[in-house]
Structure 1
């Protein structure tokens, strides 16, 4: 075990997740695979090696760094030089107190686990000597990242037990460097795969069969391991249930990968008397030869009892699920309750915490994972997709849609309620915090009180120099998540706040602060502190009768009934509309845009930070013939949708904006590239080193999107990209103008061009091989798709772009970020330029900051 003891300050999020497990323990928990299997019963392979000894390096304070560009000196060293070897006693560097940071010996416990509280904020270094080149499966858990012989791969920081990485070991020494995740424990072993192609049942997404739905075909997903160095094409998966069969084509599997594949499953007969049903899955090659089989068992349930449903997501074509607590009544047009779960809680357990209601159906989305994205980013999109899918199934009363959730789901309730205020008649955040970034900051404030301000640790961890203009621009991309800046959107609906009186996970003062804030302007909210209530005090922490009584008395107003609207947004690409008014474009991107509207016989509107706005008068039953916007009067000749564009300080009537411009359909922020059935296209036209790196980087991002978002991203070489075949899909390009042949098809007219040896930004040139870049722009051959770019000018820049914090919730990325190879050592100080394109997707009309 590590000998040196360093007092660590745990991060806010680690505390959230560990304590919120109270909720998970009450409603069902996740158990990792590793450690519970017998050695000879591993389904994917034969045990080759268990790591029992290693080295650990503690880096105090790294847990607080939730930046979009966190400093990571350790990984920087192993990325920049894959041949680095270390031994016990080697000094890596000195910490902020001037103490030597030393690699120290560690050993596993009786459960084959490296486990010690001092592993938090640490890296674990492992070696394996192979007597030959061979393909194996590296299995580990408890780590957030790993480099294998210098190449980065996704970790298993939630300890799910899902992680399997096919890797080709070299003859001789192989090095694995793991960054310890949320919990101070790590396990690792090497398996010899049973077959080059096989199923794994780790992390399936499967439906419940419903007795009442005869002839229905269900969506499911299972992972396939390709432990070969070749692309595998032309596969099919056949699913058989009681003689019924469904088949699907499998997307091409990249070399040395594990991909989650959608499958179609035939339903069972409604006369089934059992509560289980076996499904046989068969994997066939392009000639019809059987490669692998897998038997899985699904539950049979009644659609009138708690159950789960699956659907295919428009984000990436993956299969997602949500859970349902259906109404006890079969009446049509009932209410619909959207309930969003807390950290570590499965959607099934969220729905199970509620008794069935007699006046509405309750649905619980996944946030794409039990931890997911804190209901922001792709978690937000998941909530919207589930809401839309449930509306099609249950055909609810459109005026009786409600929102609630607990803990992280309480945050999701505050956030979604402020972001989409006209979607809900009332919201009820339970044990929630409104602003994710402010919540993290509150933990830092609480930690401050434990240290003397003259302590060097205080200065290191809490001294924050005045942010640079570049850093402020980076932060601005997070405006849509700053819920408190949108607080007056709560005027759209009723609010019921439920919080435990002595909650120390989401401290009660946060709820009291929201009570105070709402009390200054809101006339329809209720606040209740549960006496002696902690963070979780039984199912009534969420299933609280007064909440549903509060809901029952409130409805969404019809558009024609709405006489006053206040609405704000941080980005039209996230939320743009309230009732019959839509903000299409901003004057200053990703700053708050607001309108206030009063309606009598005419419309009176005041605006802030709006460049283009429309009013859909077709939604109104009565005629409106006059509109006054910021003091300018206009005569309205018919009840159609009318558009107004601001030119300097003057409004003028305009046409519907061209789809080629920015708008709600496509507005940027780099993260916006990762949706709309996104496909990753990697370069093959460079040096062997560049080609290997870009392929691994694209595969690394696909691994991360699978792990964090239960995702399925198609990965293809540039030589396979075709505009028609992938029409209207988002594309993320890995490579540059000189080595990715898809660049010229998609980015020929882009104002930013990345070449070997230089970046050109609207005629400004940055020479050198050290530059990396992330940016998003419009796909010119589509009315709504985008192109994301992960590009570098050379080998140093390629290694700098490895960091994929753009797939982490709470991180912020404008349209464009350009940085050099010092970014891993110095974080945001390595950023050269960042900003937003103009509404015409140009640099000239954009907003940029340069270092």
Structure 2
């Protein structure tokens, strides 16, 4: 059955969900076809409606029989029975288990699912690889799938621990290019009630066997693990079976029977000819997981590593929604003057090249530059559709990284285009919601458009595109036309969203790239740059915006360097601390710096590579010092989402009530499932008693619980001005009481210069329940340094907000 319970899960921190509200407070009645369960905002009745499975297994509203009676509920694989619902709502399914047992639940088309009241991740893009271990009780088991046009099935296996082969991360073997040992990744599912450790995975390829010790898997969960394999015996193009064997315990003695085998599977390793497109893997610094990128080598480099031919061009191509990076790379013909590299955005849909998609792009860009040694003056950025947006976003955010950019069939912002995750709200009458939206200002490239000035910009779009309207291209042409001196624009006549490989591999784009080279910093004496978050983007050329006066509002600099006159002049907006590189002035130069028409700052250089830090207080600029690691700076500037990096670890509380402890583990597991699904990620999940700041030094922490229920709180948050305990929250001098309060906030980890802890907390089980939604994984959603809300958010949205804001540059609350 399906029911149109009002809910809103968009690209922001605020969400609503009436079904969740009823489920949590115990007022959700068992669905019955035709029962009215409320009314919409327009006064229309909300009622449960029967569904049935179509020929593809998708659940849809049941057809009406003659006489008007609805058809009975359909039946899904695993004997899940259809329930009720409507567009935008929930689908209700049941399963009658003859005995308590475990099973693997596979859903498609849903954004989440409640299994007997426990929340698990969904598969909104119907990828089919998310297999969730669930505990079934004897008798009736209830499933509420958020979404319509869904499918669901249960599978049963005697194996408590198993390998899943439908979502591997694998590199190509390119004979003569890589070393013998490479890395792949595969999912291990633990369907048992206990965590499993001391695992080892052996990989055998063409007679070569390599063993890898892998991370433990928590109870009733899965994890994508990295393994090594030896491809040295692969000598020809083709696909090769790699046999994987999962064992537990220490290695067996030679010649003895191995009774430790848990599961065995085969994955296919592809080998390509030298010079053909290929994939390569790397360990991500975000979470330690294995990610991949694709390469289309420069033409004419067959049988040799591109690393031996430096100083060619680098084409950085970002893919569209649903496109694998290897297919992005294959869409181009090899260029004889450079190599094309395509990062993944962590998944084919991932994060729209924002948030962790942005970080993935930066990781791959760094790897590509180190490995291929391209000409620093000839780095180019392009992409199609969602990758067109990625081109606009990465181009505006990091304008000093590219000589030219070429967005193809792209949209500039998620505010205007959105996706299956929903639009980013553009405004709100609620001042607290305005603060949340402000936390996403870095996503609005329209406000950063003047950052494109030093770049060549080629806009390419089909004029018959029905997926991403050509009006987005025309919007950017009109916007840039007022100030962009180096702009080229072309609408392909009759061109749809994808009309051929020329949709990306358009020769005039690469001709345009060939005409462009990026000047070195020494050749650029006038700079203009804007940012909304120095923690995301702070530096342009020889100037860095280190701190802001108003956090996450737009900051800008417009500077002129006069090397003959030994002077720097210019204007700043919302800049509290500015750093200038002075390596174009020789030692002993008497330098004058005049900013914002205020009294000049004088400085005598001590070397040929000096830099100076300036701070603005009131109406005066003075020479200062770089912020301490404990203050906000580009390495750690907040916001809440910033803690989800630095090989983050999830720490759940175990010292609360039975309900609180169950919530903490359920929430950590739900976030880990979502992180895996959305970001191809893998994360350590540990109990609070296993955490210490020395063992996990410099790693980000995501803490689940409050001061009473999580023992890691004292280590990480003892000096934090935000404290959450049972029935009480304090933010600075303000106090709130009750068991239905929830909060998200970030705090710097004091023995680290870069890592932070993100706290997901509540004052009681009601508050914890309303904190369940993980909207922070939605690309471009805005989360400030802290936000406090109540159980009422589930029905009132922004009306449930109590507080939201940013720390000052000393990480203090400003009341």
Which residues of 2 match residues 181-260 of structure 1 at below 5 A? 184-213=148-177, 215-260=179-224
Q: Is residue 367 of structure 1 aligned with residue 330 of structure 2?
A: no
Deviation at 1:212, TM superposition (A): 1.0
Match of 2:747 in 1: 777
Aligned to 1:58: 4
The answer for the alignment partner of 2:400 in structure 1 is: 422
Q: Residue 134 of structure 2 aligns with which residue?
A: 167
1:7 is matched with which residue?
none
TM-score normalized with structure 2 length:
0.91
Q: Aligned partners of 2:261 and 2:682: how far apart in 1?
A: 24
For 1:813 and 1:111, the matched residues in 2 are separated by 39
Contact 1:341 1:364 in 2 (8 A): yes
Distance 2:427 2:686 in 1: 43
How far 1:108 sits from its partner (Å)? 1.1
Deviation at 1:624, TM superposition (A): 7.4
- Structure 2 residues not aligned, in runs of 5+: 63-84, 252-259, 302-308
Which of 499, 503, 515 is the aligned partner of 2:465? 503
Summarize deviations over 1:492-512 as a string: whole Å, max 9, x none. Answer: 211001111222322222211
Q: Secondary structure at the match of 1:389?
A: helix
For the residue of structure 1 that corresponds to 2:583, the secondary structure is helix
- Cα offsets for 1:510-546 (capped at 9, x unmatched): 2112111111111111011111212222111110111
Does residue 545 of structure 1 match 2:507?
A: yes
Of 652, 657, 678, which aligns to 2:648? 678
1:479 aligns with 2:479: no
Separation in 1, partners of 2:272, 2:727: 60
Q: Secondary structure at the match of 1:294?
A: strand
Which of 118, 136, 153 is matched with 2:120 structurally?
Answer: 153
- 1:615 equivalent to 2:580? Answer yes
Aligned counterpart in structure 1 of residue 324 of structure 2, from 338, 346, 369 = 346
- 1:329–1:359 contact (8 Å) kept in structure 2: no
1:113 to 1:620, Cα distance in 2 relative to 1, 3 A:
farther
Offset at 1:319? 0.8
In 1: Cα distance, 2:284 partner to 2:644 partner: 13
Paired residue for 2:310, among 321, 327, 332? Answer: 332
Please give the per-residue CA displacement for 1:741-761, whole angstroms capped at 9, x wherever unaligned.
111111110110110111111
Quote the residue 1:281 is aligned against.
244
Q: Which residue is 1:94 aligned to?
A: 39
Does residue 1:811 correspond to 2:781, yes or no? yes
Q: CA deviation at 1:73?
A: 0.7
The worse-fitting range, judged by mean Cα deviation, of 99-108 and 280-289 is: 280-289
Q: Are residues 595 and 692 of structure 1, via their aligned partners in 2, closer, same or farther at CA, if it must alter by over 3 Å?
A: same
Q: Does 1:404 align with 2:404?
A: no
Residues 214 and 269 in structure 1, CA contact (< 8 A), matched pair in contact too: no
What CA deviation, in whole Å up to 9, does each residue of 1:469-491 have, x standing for no partner? 11111110011111011110001
Does structure 1 residue 587 correspond to structure 2 residue 549? Answer: yes
- Name 2:536's counterpart in structure 1: 574
Structure 2 counterpart of 1:45: none
Q: How many angstroms apart in 2 are the aligned matches of 1:781 and 1:80?
A: 41
Equivalent residue in structure 2 for 1:728, among 698, 708, 712: 698
Aligned partner of 2:498 in structure 1 is 536
Equivalent residues of 2:744, 2:786 under 8 A apart: yes
In 2: Cα distance, 1:817 partner to 1:774 partner: 6
Return closer, same or farther for 1:341/1:302 CA change in 2, 3 Å cut-off: same
Structure 1 residues 697, 503: CA separation in 2 closer, same or farther (over 3 Å shift)? Answer: same
1:380 deviates by 0.7
Contact 2:9-2:775 within 8 A present in 1 as well: no
Q: How does 1:604-683 map to 2 (within 5 A)?
A: 604-618=569-583, 625-631=591-597, 632-638=599-605, 639=608, 640-683=610-653
**Contact 1:603 1:624 (8 Å CA) reproduced:** no
For the structure 1 residues 400 and 438, does the alpha-carbon distance in structure 2 shift closer, same or farther, using more than 3 Å as the test?
Answer: same
- Aligned 8 A contact 2:23 2:117 in 1: yes
Confirm or deny: 8 A CA contact 1:353 1:542 kept in the other structure.
yes
Q: Alpha-carbon deviation of 1:96?
A: 2.7
**TM score, norm. by length of structure 1:** 0.88
Call closer, same or farther: CA 1:688–1:353 in 2, change over 3 Å.
same
Partners of 2:438 and 2:697 in 1: CA distance: 32
Quote the residue 2:257 is aligned against.
none
Q: For 2:250 and 2:12, locate their aligned partners in 1 and report how far apart those are by CA, in whole Å.
A: 49
| Count of matched residue pairs | 770
Alignment correspondent of 2:278: 307
**Contact 2:90–2:146 (CA under 8 A) maintained in structure 1:** yes
- Post-superposition offset of 1:64: 8.3
Matched position secondary structure for 1:797 = helix
Whether the 8 Å CA contact 1:437–1:810 is kept in 2: the answer is: no
Choose which of 177, 187, 202 in structure 1 pairs with 2:144: 177
The match for 1:262 is 226
Alpha-carbon contact 1:573-1:667 (below 8 Å) kept: yes
Q: CA deviation at 1:65?
A: 4.7
Unpaired stretches in structure 1, ≥5 consecutive residues: 1-54, 446-460
Tell me if structure 2 keeps the 8 A contact 1:473–1:834. Answer: yes
Q: CA deviation at 1:116?
A: 5.2
1:688 aligns with 2:658: yes
The reply on whether 1:292 has 2:263 as its aligned counterpart is yes
Does the residue aligned with 1:583 lie in a helix, a strand or coil? strand
Distance 1:119 1:310, change over 3 A: farther
Contact 2:237 2:270 in 1 (8 A): no
Deviation at 1:244, TM superposition (A): 3.0
Distance 2:422 2:292 in 1: 35
Inter-partner Cα distance in structure 2 for 1:229 and 1:423: 49
Q: What is the rounded CA distance, in whole Å, between the counterparts of 1:680 and 1:82 in structure 2?
A: 32
Inter-partner Cα distance in structure 1 for 2:267 and 2:212: 17
CA deviation string 1:118-175 (max 9, x = no partner): 9531310011122222111112111111011111110011000112111111222111
